[in-house]
Amino acid sequence: MTGAPLIDWLPRSNAINLLAGVFLLSALYAVTQRRTAACITAYTWNSLSLAAIAMLVALLTGARHIGVAAALVLVSKGFLIPRLLRRALARSRSRAEAEPYVSIQLSALLCGALVVIAFSQTRVLFGEGVSILASCLPVSIATTLVGLFLMVSRKQALAMVVGLVILENAIFLAAVSLTYGMPLVVEMGVLLDLLVGTALLGMMVGRIEESFATDDATRLTSLRG
């Protein structure tokens, strides 16, 4: 479904590169913010840029199913999931933000290193841009690592959930950039999963708070047999 003229034309359009930059920077912004609310905001921007990239790809390649997926991303990741997360945050009674495992400054540094690794290794692994979305692949891998790092470094359960959903966004971007998206049924299934998963995680965070009077996930260690 990719026409040859488009491949010639696309690299000249810097719009996708710009949006990919927004995607990565929003993830990095989440890492540098201590407050969970700011992380959720970062996630919103992350999702919006993802939806924009997908929409742009749909317009440029004329693939309708990517367009539908982009619309679904916009609705679910751009609005519903941030809303679920904010509601969970609002319900949360513990206002004190636990200190992350890694200080903010060090986090920024480490994530910079992760981004460098991702970019250099993607070139080694996949070669120079084959796909029309060549710039998006290193971004998606870098964002995967950053999302995972967010999960590792934060103690609050809700911030870890934000890391998880950022990671999921990155995987979606990787799928789009490598294969122009998965079949629509799969995309819809994944999005539904994510929606339900986030709702459940929000509830789980509530339960953790009830049990431990804090949403500090490190307390879960005491459940170990």
* Chain contacts with other proteins (rule: CB under 8 A): 101, 114, 117-118, 121, 124-125, 141, 144-145, 148-149, 151-153, 155, 160, 217-218, 220-221, 223-224
- Residue 109 or residue 117: which is nearer to other proteins going by CB? 117
User: Residue 78 carries which DSSP code?
Assistant: I
Rg (CA), the chain: 18
Return all residues near 224 (Cβ < 8 A) that are at least 6 apart: none
- Residue 11 or residue 197: which is nearer to other proteins going by CB? 197
Of 116, 6, 19, the residue nearest 61 (C-alpha): 6
- Residue 90 or residue 223: which is nearer to other proteins going by CB? 223
- Residue 120 or residue 179: which is nearer to other proteins going by CB? 120
Least Å distance, CB 201 to other proteins, is: 13
Least Å distance, CB 59 to other proteins, is: 32
**Location of structure tokens 């998606």:** 140
Least Å distance, CB 137 to other proteins, is: 12
* 157-179 and 36-61 helices, crossing angle to 10°: 10
Cα separation, 182 vs 28, in Å, equals 26
- Residue 12 or residue 224: which is nearer to other proteins going by CB? 224
Least Å distance, CB 223 to other proteins, is: 7
Cα separation, 168 vs 46, in Å, equals 11
Least Å distance, CB 149 to other proteins, is: 6
Cα separation, 19 vs 25, in Å, equals 10
